[in-house]
Amino acid sequence: MAAIEQRGAASDRPGRSFGDRISMRTKRLLWVWGFLALPILFYTVIRFYPTFQAFYLSFTNWDLLRPAKFIGAANYVKLFKDPQFWKVFKNTFTYLIVGTPISLVLAFVIAFFLDRVRLLHGFIRALYFLPYLTTAAAMAWVWRWFYQPPPIGVINDVFGMLGIPQQPFIRSVDQALFSIMVTAIWAGLGFQIIIFMAGLRAIPTTFYEAARIDGLGEWAILRKITLPLLKPTTVFLVVFSSIGFLRIFDQVYNMTTNDPGGPLGSTKPLVLMIYQTAFNSYAMGYAAAQTVVLFTILLVVSLLQLFILRDKK
Amino acid sequence: MSEAPAFFHSNIRPGRIIAWTLLLIGGLIMVSPLAFMFSTSFKTADQVYDLRLVPAAPTLTNYITVLADGRFTRWFFNSTLVAVIVTLSNCFFDSLVGYTLAKFQFRGRYFIFLAILSTLMIPTEMLVIPWYLMSSQLGWLDSYWGIMFPGMMTAFGTFLMKQFFETVPNDFIEAARVDGLNEFQIWWKVALPLVTPALSALAIFTFLGNWTAFFWPLIVTTSKELYTLPVGLSSFAVEQSIQWEMIMTGAAIATLPTLLVFLVLQRYIVRGVMLAGLKG
């Protein structure tokens, strides 16, 4: 009712409508900047300033005790000369290069068949999706228990029943990294399956019908229709999953608490090295340099993947 | 509906039966860590080696022991408090900013959008050291605010909400203006109810992300009273060393809430993940 009265009042006095319009514009702008004031402050103080500070700190020898002193690129020189860094670098990329393709192929195959299942569809989908909702830190301990030597470890017990030789898993320099990787793949698989299924659903059925009329077999349909049309989904998941593997931490930290990143540093990823440098050794400047390296790796890998996967289309 | 004939055809083919069986077995393998975790949490120490999923003599002793000293209830409370506040803040600010960027024309709009979007490229790990410095200078270390402040707004949420607010017809907003609602009321009463699917997706993601968060809470908290559930569980498990039934009980307590929420809201969560994954 008030609105109608207001309108009536405005049209009674046409002389004021121009001034009203000006103030309407200004008023709306005031609203806009009012809405944005707190967010701008937040992004400036909590995101942008710390970003620049991280770059700056990477050129200092700050250690929490003495004030930060500018030391040029010394941290980077030290890092690239550090054999431990190259080991960590290799570990991090092993997680990425082995983990991403395995988890994506698994997720696609499962999504592809699950999409066609009608019997108990919701139930089976839930089985695959549940691990995604768990806490990585909690499930790392479950997997750690699974990997124990017999008679405690479940996997070795099952191996024993099947006549497969016992495996050391997270106690072995050769197997530990892959054992942890399995945990990470397990945790992320449900999400990737759901996203792949959403992508599959988005492909119009008319495409398939047309292909069948043309006499294409299942395999040809998959190669010529499903995979090309699924490309945006695949690109998203490749980048998303790669970033996840490059930043792996929770699982490694919790599965190797007695010797973080062990045995003998064979599972240590870059983020764990950053954590130890910053919060165990308090070499903040050196750790900041490592975070800058992580940032660069993430940026280069994402851009490279976007570039390669987009060009082929 | 058009798939009904395919269903009958395919059901006869043995290949489909094999595929279905393999899918089911795979699914059972996927939940087996959860099944063993819950099963063991009801077992006594001498039954841990028993691989049977249904405990011979189920007992609640582990839960009573774990919950008795009050640490887990405290961590549970901390995690819930942090996750709820951060989720509310994201739902409010991300959607307000997303709406402003989607529905207003003003100078600097594109610049602000790009600036917020660019923060997606900055990994948390890079900000952690400056945040730690900032927190120690402002006395935020080892406090609830210290755990929460980095996640109060996110570029992901803002981008997601902007995408959805763009689908809201301008006529609705104009009509509300004519009706004399102010800009805040238009957002709150007219635009926001139209994007509830996106809003619930954002809420689910933010809650889940903060409930399971480990890295920053591990850094910013030092006293056990302020640990979140994942950090508390980690310290508890280290302390228990080889008492796996106790560790599994702790892990079960940390896992149960999200699983229960999922069972109730399964359809919304799956849809939310699809929405956010495809648009975001």
Using CB atoms, which residue from B49, B242, B270 is nearest to A151?
B49
| pLDDT of B279 | 57
**What are the b/e assignments for A103-118, b being 16+ CB within 10 Å?**
bbebbbbbbbbbbbbe
Beta bridge partners of A126: none
Cα(A1)–Cα(B153) distance, integer angstroms: 38
Evaluate if residue B76 carries a pLDDT over 90: yes
Cα(A286)–Cα(A74) distance, integer angstroms: 9
To the nearest whole Å, the CA of B184 is away from the closest chain A CA by 8
**What angle is formed at CA A203 by the lines to CA A202 and CA A206, rounded to 5 degrees?**
130
Q: 52-91 in B: which are within 8 Å (CB) of A?
A: none
Which chain B residues touch A49 with a CB distance below 8 Å? Answer: 130
Instruction: Give the residue on A whose Cα is nearest the Cα of B253.
Output: A138
Using CB atoms, which residue from B97, B183, B277 is nearest to A36?
B97
A interface test, pick of B116, B214, B249, B268 with most A CB neighbours within 10 Å: B214
DSSP-derived 3-state class of residue A70: strand
Peptide bond into A151 cis (omega under 30): yes
Which of B85, B237, B72, B73 has the alpha carbon at shortest distance from B147? B85
Strands in chain A per DSSP E = none
Peptide bond into A263 cis (omega under 30): yes
3-state helix, strand, coil in chain B (%, to 5): 80, 0, 20
Evaluate if residue A1 carries a pLDDT over 80: no
Helices A284-311 and A231-246, interaxial angle, to 10°?
160
Write out pLDDT tens, residues A65-120.
788 888 988 999 999 999 999 999 999 999 999 999 999 999 999 999 998 888 88
The residue extents of the domains of chain A are 21-49, 82-308
Q: Are A5 and A11 in contact (CB under 8 A)?
A: no
Using CB atoms, which residue from B100, B130, B278 is nearest to A50?
B130
Cα(A176)–Cα(A259) distance, integer angstroms: 12
Considering the domain A82-308 in this protein, what is its CATH number?
A: 1.10.3720.10
C-beta atoms surrounding A227 within 10 Å: 12
Which chain B residues touch A299 with a CB distance below 8 Å? Answer: 121
- In which band, very low, low, confident or very high, does the pLDDT at A12 lie, cut at 50, 70 and 90? very low
B interface test, pick of A20, A44, A62, A142 with most B CB neighbours within 10 Å: A142
To the nearest whole Å, the CA of B82 is away from the closest chain A CA by 15
To the nearest whole Å, the CA of B233 is away from the closest chain A CA by 7
Using CB atoms, which residue from B28, B104, B153 is nearest to A42?
B153
Query: Two tokens at B53?
Result: 């999923």
C-beta atoms of B277 and A38 within 8 A: no
C-beta atoms of B130 and A278 within 8 A: no
To the nearest whole Å, the CA of B154 is away from the closest chain A CA by 9
Instruction: Give the residue on A whose Cα is nearest the Cα of B94.
Output: A39
**What are the b/e assignments for A259-274, b being 16+ CB within 10 Å?**
ebbbbebbbbbbbbbb
Which chain A residues touch B187 with a CB distance below 8 Å? Answer: 35
Write out pLDDT tens, residues B237-251.
998 877 888 999 999
Which chain A residues touch B96 with a CB distance below 8 Å? Answer: 35, 39
Beta bridge partners of A60: A70
DSSP annotation of A43: I
Write out pLDDT tens, residues A212-250.
888 888 888 888 888 988 888 898 899 999 999 999 999
Amino acid letter at B18? I
Write out pLDDT tens, residues A152-179.
888 988 888 888 888 889 888 889 999 9
Using CB atoms, which residue from B28, B100, B244 is nearest to A145?
B244
Evaluate if residue A5 carries a pLDDT over 90: no
Put simply, whether B222 touches A (Cβ < 8 Å) is: no
Put simply, whether B233 touches A (Cβ < 8 Å) is: yes
C-beta atoms of B254 and A118 within 8 A: no
Write out pLDDT tens, residues A287-309.
999 999 999 999 999 888 888 88
Which chain B residues touch A153 with a CB distance below 8 Å? Answer: none
State residue A70 phi and psi, 5-degree precision.
-70, 125
C-beta atoms of A127 and B31 within 8 A: yes
Which ipTM value was assigned to this complex?
Answer: 0.88
Report the predicted TM-score, pTM, of the whole model to 2 decimal places: 0.88
C-beta atoms surrounding A40 within 10 Å: 16
C-beta atoms surrounding A257 within 10 Å: 17
